[in-house]
Amino acid sequence: MKKILLLLLLTLTLTSCDEQTSVFYYRDGNHLHKELNGTDVEQLVATGYILGVVDTSSLRNCENMRNVTVGQLVDVVKNHLKNNPEVRQNSASQIVESVIKEKFKCN
């Protein structure tokens, strides 16, 4: 378990930069989409990332999310990235926050 947590922390501390633009994103939608469809460890990292966005944003105060499971959050983000490839170049945190706000009707 400690090895998995260490791997998760190391992965989350790495940064990524889109080489074709000068815009820097910690993680973009392409990266998150790849992780959500990757190995078990990659999926765990992506899930942790989604939860981190929720926990550090105004989403944690959304009344409509009181009984929402982690699986639901992951499914909503994963389906959005699958069905909307045109947004994947955007910041992953912006995608996660906007999708969850929309789907769970959060202000």
Q: How far apart are CA 25 and CA 89, in angstroms?
A: 9
This model's pTM is above 0.85: no
If you ran DSSP here, which 8-state letter would residue 42 be given? H
Q: How far apart are CA 15 and CA 37, in angstroms?
A: 20
Per-residue pLDDT of the chain (107 residues; tens, 9 = 90+): 655 655 555 555 544 444 454 455 589 999 999 999 999 999 999 999 999 999 998 887 888 888 999 999 999 999 999 999 999 999 999 999 999 999 999 87
Pairing of strands 16-17, 24-25: antiparallel
Cβ 100 vs Cβ 54: under 8 Å: yes
